[in-house]
Structure 1
Amino acid sequence: MSGKEIAILGAGMHPWGKWGRSFIEYGLAAARSALADAGLSWQDVQYVAGADTIRNGYPGFIAGATFAQALGWSGAQVSSCYAACASGAQAIANARAQILSGLCDVALVVGADAAPKGFFAPVGGDRPDDPDWLRFRLLGATNPMYFALAARRRMALYGSTSEDFAQVKVKNSRHGLNNPNARYRKEVAVEQVLESAVVADPLRLLDICATSDGGAALVLTSMEFARSRGLESVRISGLSTVTPTFPKTVLDLPDFATDSAMTVQVPERPFRAALAHKAYEEAGVGPEDVSAAEVYDLSTALELDWMEDIGLCEPGSAESLLRAGETSIGGRIPVNPSGGLASFGEAIPAQAIAQLCELTWQLRGQAEGRQVEGARVGIAVNQGLFGHGSATVVTR
C-alpha cells in the first residue's frame, strides 16, 4: 500500500441539468449525500475544500467557506481554489495534502456550478492583458473552435472521420441512459449527430458538450481513519496536477517562430500523457491495469485523443477500439461509463469530483445499469485552460 493513499468514504452528487437555482443548493445536496454515504455527520469533518465557480458572484470565489456556511459553521478549516476545468481535482489535491500531512483525518471536497446558457465567456469585463479575453475579442475563438482544431489535427494525422467522432457520442449517450445524475438520458444515432448543426467545422452540435448546472462531493479520510471504522474503501492511489513543460498551447502544437526551432527542446511526453504518467507512477499501476476510464470529452474527438494520451491504446488506434466495442461497457476498457460530458455537460468546478464519484461507485460495484464488471482500477483525467489538468488513479 502506498504511503500516499487516502480513502474515499463517501460520494454524492446533485443531478446535472438546467435547474435555475443557486450553485450553493447543488453543492449542499451533493455534500449531504456524500456524508450520508460515508456514514458520517457534518461535525466529523475537519477540513472543507471548495472548488470555485467564477460565474456566480463572490460566494463562488470562496466556495469552501460558502459551503461550510451552508452546512453550518462548525469550526472546520476551509480552502477555496480555481483551476478552470481541473478545479475539482485541485480541491481534491488540497484535501489530500492536509490528510497526508496529518493535519486532518476527515475532509469534505465540494464543487458545484450554475452555468449560463451558451459558450463560456471571460469574466471581469474588458481585460486586454488576459489571453482568454483576447481570443474572444480579437479572434472570436470560443472554446469549440479549439476543439475543432484538435479534431482537424486528428483527421490529418490518422484519417479520422466525422462518423468516427459521432460514434463517440453514440457510445456515451448509451452509457448515460442508466445514470440517474446525467442530464441527457436518450440514445443518439450516428445520423442524428452528423445531421446536427455545424458549430466549428468539423464538429457539430451533438459533438460538443453543453453547459450545465450540477454538484458533486467526496468525503476523503486517512487510511487509518477508514480502518478504525472497519471500512473497506476505494483509495486514491495516485494524483497528478502537473503543468506543461513545452509546448505552451492546449493543443500541444510546436512553436512556430522561425528562430526557435533549434533552441526549444520537445518534451518526452505531451501534457496529457505527462499527467497520466505521473499518476500511474505514484499509484504503482499502468494503463494495462485500468478497468474503467473517465476522460474529458469536451468534444467527441478529444475523447479519442485522451484514450491514446493516457496509454489505453497506441496513437491512431482509438477509432478501431471504439468501433470494435472495446470502449463500451462490456468491452476491454470502458471509457466514460458515466456517459461523460456528452451526457452531463459542463459544470466546471464539479466535473473532476463527479468523475471520481463515478469511479468510486464502479469500484464498489454500485453503478447499477452501467456497471463495469470486476472493476479494480480506474483513472479520471481532465484538462483546463492555462496549464491546468489532472489525472487521478483510484484502486480497490
Structure 2
Amino acid sequence: MSRHDVAVAGVGMHPWGKWGKNFVEYGVHAARAALADSSIAWQDVDLVVGGETVRNGYAGYVAGSTFASALGWNGARIATSYAACATGAQALDTARARILAGMSEVALVVGADTTPKGFLAPNAGERWEDPDWLRFRLLGMTNPAYFALYARRRMDLYGATPEDFAAVKVKNARHGLENPNARYRKEVSVEDVLTSAVVSDPLHLLDICATSDGAAAVVLCSTEYAAKHGIGGGVRINAISTVTPTFPNTVIDMPLLSTDSANAVGAPEQTFKEAIGQAAYDEAGIDPADVSVAEVYDLSTALELDWIEDLQLCKRGEAEALLRAGDTTIGGRIPVNPSGGLACFGEAVPAQALAQVCEIAWQLRGRATGRQVEGARVGITANQGLFGHGSSVILSV
C-alpha cells in the first residue's frame, strides 16, 4: 500500500443535461448518492470540500459551505477549491491531505454546476492579468479556436485527419449509450460529425463538447476506516497530481513548437501535460503499462488524442494508430473514456474531474453496466486547467 493511499468509500452523480435548476440541487443529489453508495451516514462526515463554481454567485464561490448547509449542518469542517477544469481533483487532494494527516476520517467532495447556453465565455469585467481574459478579449481566441490549433498541429505533425477526430466522437458516443448519467446517448457516424457545422476549422460542432448542468461527488476515508467498516470495495486513490511546469525543463506545449531562441538553450525534457501524468505515475509507483482504463479530458476530439500520448499510453504521434486499430475502445488494449467522456456529458466544470473518478471507481468495482472494461485494476484520469495547472488521478483495486 502506498503511503499516499486513501479509500474511495462511495461515488455518486446527478445526470448531466440542461435542467435549468440551481447547482446546489444537483450537488446535493450527487452527495446523497455517494453517501448511500458508501453506507456512511452524513453525520459521520467530518469534512466537506466543495468545487467552486464561479458562474453561480456567492453560493458558488463558497461551495463547501453551500453544500454543507444544504445537506444540514453536522459540524463538519469545510473547504472550497477552484482550478477551472481541474477543480474536482484539487478538491479531492485537499480532502486526501487532511485524511493522510490524521485530521479527518471521512470527507465528502462535491462539484456541481449550472452553465449558460453556448460555449463558455470569460466572466464580466476587465482582468488584464488573466491569460484567459486576454486570450478571449484581445486575441479573439475562444476555446473552440484554441482547440482547433491543437487539432491542426496533430494534422501537420502526425498526419491526423478530420476522419480520425470524427472517429473519437463515434467511439465515445458508442461508449456513452449505456451510461445513465450521460446527456447524449445516441450513436453518431463519421459522416454525421463531418457534415455538422464547422465551428473552427478543422473542428466541427460534433467534435466539441457542450456545456451542461451536472454534479459528481466522492466520499473518501482512511484505508483503516474502510477496512474497519468493510466499505469501498477495495478501491483506493494512489496518486493525485496537480503539478505546475518546472522551468526550463517543461513547456506548456510541444517542444516542436519552441522558438529558435528556446531551442538554442536546449530542448525541454517534457511538456506540461506529460509532467502532470508523470508526477502521478511517480507518486503511485506504477508505469503507464500498468493502466487498464483512462478517463481523459476530451473538450475536443483532437485533445483526447493528445492526452493519450501525454499519459504515455502510447508514443508521441501514435494515438491515431491506436484509435484506428480499436485499441482505445472498450475491449481494446487501453480503453479511453468508457463513460462516453465530455463528448457525451459536456462541461460542468467543478464536477468533471470528480465524474472521471466516479467512472474509474465503477470500472474497478465491475459496476459499469453496459460499458464495463473487463478486468480493470488500475485507472487514470486527466484534466487541464489551462495556463500551468491541471490534474491526474490514479486509482487501483
TM-score band by shorter chain is over 0.9
Using a 3 Å threshold, how does the CA distance of structure 1 residues 109 and 252 change in structure 2: closer, same or farther?
Answer: farther
Query: Are the equivalent residues in 2 in contact too, given 1:50–1:81 (CA < 8 A)?
Result: yes
Decide whether the 8 Å contact of 1:8 with 1:218 is kept in 2. yes
Equivalents in 1 of 2:386, 2:303: separation in Å? 15
Task: Answer with 166-175 or 229-238: which moved more.
Answer: 229-238
Q: Secondary structure at the match of 1:139?
A: coil
Distance 1:288 1:260, change over 3 A: closer
SS at match of 1:227: helix
Where 1:387 maps in the other structure, the secondary structure is: coil
Are 1:393 and 2:394 an aligned pair?
yes
Alpha-carbon deviation of 1:255? 5.2
Q: Give structure 2 stretches of 5+ with no counterpart.
A: none
Contact residue 377 and residue 394 of structure 1 kept, 8 A? yes
- Structural mapping, 1:150-189, within 5 Å: 150-189=150-189
Once the two structures are TM-superposed, the CA of residue 81 in structure 1 deviates from its matched residue by: 1.1
Distance in 2 (alpha carbons) for counterparts of 1:316 and 1:283: 26
Partner of 2:191: 191
Question: Distance in 2 between the 1:250 and 1:109 partners?
Answer: 31
Alignment correspondent of 1:70? 70
Q: 1:245, 1:190 → 2: CA distance?
A: 40
TM-score, reference length from structure 2: 0.96
Relative to structure 1, the CA distance from residue 16 to residue 312 in structure 2 (aligned partners, 3 Å threshold; closer, same or farther) is same
- 1:109-160 per-residue CA deviation (whole Å, 9 max, x = no partner) reads 0000001111211113122333222222222111111100001111010010
Q: Does 1:317 align with 2:327?
A: no
* CA gap 1:32/1:253 in 2 versus in 1, 3 angstroms: farther
SS at match of 2:226: helix
Aligned to 2:93: 93
Instruction: Letter of the 2:198 partner, please give it.
Output: V
The whole-number CA distance in structure 2 between the counterparts of 1:230 and 1:74 is 23
Separation of aligned partners in 1, 2:157 and 2:253: 17
Contact 1:250 1:385 in 2 (8 A): no
Shift of 1:249: 4.1
Output the CA distance in 1 between the equivalents of 2:168 and 2:67. 35
* 8 Å CA contact 2:253, 2:271 repeated in 1: no
**C-alpha displacement of 1:251:** 6.3
Partner in structure 1 of residue 282 of structure 2: 281
Match of 2:293 in 1: 292
Q: What do residues 357-388 of structure 1 show as CA deviations (whole Å, max 9, x unaligned)?
A: 00000000000000000110000111012312
Sort the Cα spacing of 1:266 and 1:83 in 2 relative to 1 into closer, same or farther, 3 A: farther
1:333 paired residue number: 334
How does the TM-score come out when normalised to structure 1? 0.97
Q: Which residue of 2 aligns with 1:44?
A: 44
Q: Which amino acid in the other structure matches residue 369 of structure 1?
A: G
1:220 Cα deviation (Å)?
Answer: 0.2
Q: How does 1:4-23 map to 2 (within 5 A)?
A: 4-23=4-23
Report the AA paired with residue 137 of structure 2.
Answer: R
Relative to structure 1, is the Cα distance of residues 251 and 51 closer, same or farther in structure 2, using a 3 angstrom cutoff?
A: farther
Instruction: Report if aligned partners of 1:85, 1:388 keep a CA contact under 8 Å in 2.
Output: no
Give the corresponding residue for 1:383: 384
Q: CA–CA distance in 1 between the matches of 2:256 and 2:208? A: 22
2:251–2:272 contact (8 Å) kept in structure 1: no
**Structure 1 residues 58-79: Cα deviation after superposition (integer angstroms, max 9, x where no partner):** 1111100000000011110000
2:346 and 2:89 map into 1 onto residues whose CA distance is: 17
Cα distance in structure 2, aligned partners of 1:45 and 1:193:
45
Q: Which string of whole-angstrom CA distances, capped at 9 and with x for unpartnered residues, describes residues 29-87 of structure 1?
A: 00000000000111110001111000000111110000000001111000001101000
Query: For each residue in 1:202-231, what CA deviation from the matched residue of structure 2 results, as whole angstroms up to 9, or x when unmatched?
Result: 001000000000000000000000011123
Paired residue secondary structure (2:279): helix
2:54 corresponds to:
54
User: Take 1:253 and 1:34, find their aligned partners in 2: how far apart are those partners?
Assistant: 44
Distance 1:170 1:248, change over 3 A: same
Q: Is the aligned partner of 1:125 residue 2:125?
A: yes
Aligned sequence identity (%)? 66
Contact 2:251–2:268 under 8 Å retained in 1: no
Name the aligned partner's letter for residue 313 of structure 1.
C
Would the alpha carbon gap of residues 128 and 283 (structure 1) be closer, same or farther in structure 2, given more than 3 Å must change? closer
Judge conservation of contact 2:252–2:273 (CA < 8 Å) in 1: no
Residue 394 of structure 2 aligns to a residue whose secondary structure is strand
Give the distance between the partners of 2:294 and 2:367, measured in 1 at CA.
Answer: 16
Map of 1:356 onto structure 2: 357
Separation in structure 2 between the aligned mates of residue 235 and residue 150 of structure 1, nearest angstrom: 34
2:9 and 2:37 in contact (8 A); partners too: yes
Confirm or deny: 8 A CA contact 1:150 1:251 kept in the other structure.
no
Structure 1 pair 19–126 and aligned structure 2 pair: CA distance change class (3 A):
same
Letter in 1 for 2:345: F
Distance 1:223 1:128 in 2: 45
Q: Partners in 1 of 2:299 and 2:391 — Cα distance?
A: 15
Question: Deviation at 1:294?
Answer: 0.2
How many angstroms apart in 2 are the aligned matches of 1:266 and 1:59?
45
Pair 1:271–1:129, CA change in 2 (3 A):
closer
Q: What is the letter of the counterpart of residue 391 of structure 1? A: S
Question: 2:255 touches 2:268 (CA, 8 Å); kept in 1?
Answer: no
Give, in angstroms, the shift of residue 92 of structure 1: 0.3
State the 1:280 CA deviation: 1.1
Q: What is the root-mean-square deviation in Å for CA atoms of aligned residues?
A: 1.4
1:140 aligned to 2:151? no
* Greater displacement, 269-278 / 242-251: 242-251
The question of whether the paired residues in 2 share the 8 Å contact of 1:252 and 1:271 is answered with no
Paired AA for residue 303 in structure 1: E
Worse-superposed segment, 319-328 or 171-180 = 319-328
For structure 1, which segment, 121-130 or 317-326, has the greater mean C-alpha deviation from structure 2 after superposition?
A: 121-130
Counterpart in 2 of 1:267?
268
Note if contact 1:48-1:78 (Cα within 8 Å) is conserved in structure 2.
yes
CA offset at residue 321 of structure 1?
A: 1.2
- In structure 2, the residue matched to 1:109 is 109
Asked whether the 8 Å contact 2:176–2:339 carries over to 1, the reply is: yes
Aligned to 1:32: 32
